[in-house]
Amino acid sequence: MIFGSTTFTSVQGHQSDAIVTTNLTGNFNPSSIGSDANAWDNLVSSGKNLRRFNGITHNNSAPHNFQFDGTNDFLGAAETGYGGDPFHMNTGADFTLAQWYKHVNNAKHIAFGITYSGSDILFLSTGHRVANKMTLENEGGTRLEFPNYTFSNNTWYYIALVCTAVGDMSVPNTYRFFVNGSFVDDGSLAVNGTAGSDVQIGKTAGSTYTAANIKVGHVHVYNAALKNSHIRQNFLATHEINSDRIYGATYTA
């Protein structure tokens, strides 16, 4: 399978191409949210949108983002009249989930909550189980921890979770975790392989919400397990090394 080029400029190290588009099913840019006040538009042609629940704040100054209030804000499955049809994924096949988010020290963030029929299938979080580190949890409560990276207060990060699925419910899938385009940890976790699972950001099915003042920027979803170089390409394509307004410099904007 051939993905986009990973050519770099020689001056700043900034990616010269756009993000990888092969197998891209969700491309959510907070600078291009669309005209529907109830939804965050998917920039993939004919792609499904994310619904904006409970008046989640959209910050329209750079870096553009959605900001959580810590009470009941989240982004999730759209429906008729509220962004169209729900954005789905298959937890039983290869996938990649990635997002820019602003970390708040010790605070809880449900980076991705994957649910089906109102129940959790899988969720990636920080501060919910372990402070300032990411963990991945399945519907049975078994956790895969990623201990090799500690997140800093008031700092933007590009995180990515890559799943290589085996297609056998009795055999755990393999997960690789990346921060700012670099590999951090990997491990295995058994997950209920379910097509048509809803993608949520900021909430589990069990009504655990992201804490106040955490922000989310670009979000990318693929129905493939991206290579290390592809994760790096997307990281470089969505920030400027020398900018303090587009997830750049010290990423504290």
Residue 16 confidence (pLDDT): 39
Confidence of residue 169 (pLDDT cuts 50, 70, 90): low
Residue 152 confidence (pLDDT): 92
Confidence of residue 206 (pLDDT cuts 50, 70, 90): confident
The model's pTM is 0.90
Structure tokens at 216: 């989310």
166: in domain? yes
DSSP string, 178-228: EETTEEEEEEEE-----TTEEEEBSB-TT--BPPTT-EEEEEEEESS---H
Specify the CATH number for the domain of residue 122: 2.60.120.200
Structure tokens at 102: 């602003």
Residue 63 confidence (pLDDT): 83
DSSP string, 54-100: TT-EEE-SSSPEEE--SSS-EEEE-BTTBBSSBPEE-TTS-EEEEEE
Residue 94 confidence (pLDDT): 97
Question: Looking at the predicted structure, is the pLDDT value of residue 198 above 80?
Answer: yes
For residue range 137-158, list pLDDT tens digits in order: 999 999 999 999 999 999 999 9
- Closest residue by Cα to residue 159 from 75, 93, 231: 231
187: in domain? yes
Question: Looking at the predicted structure, is the pLDDT value of residue 4 above 70?
Answer: no
221: in domain? yes
For the chain, give the mean pLDDT. Answer: 89
125: in domain? yes
Cα(209)–Cα(241) distance, integer angstroms? 31
Cα(84)–Cα(182) distance, integer angstroms? 35
Count of domains in the chain?
A: 1
For residue range 68-84, list pLDDT tens digits in order: 999 999 999 999 999 99
Range(s) of the domain holding residue 152: 89-237
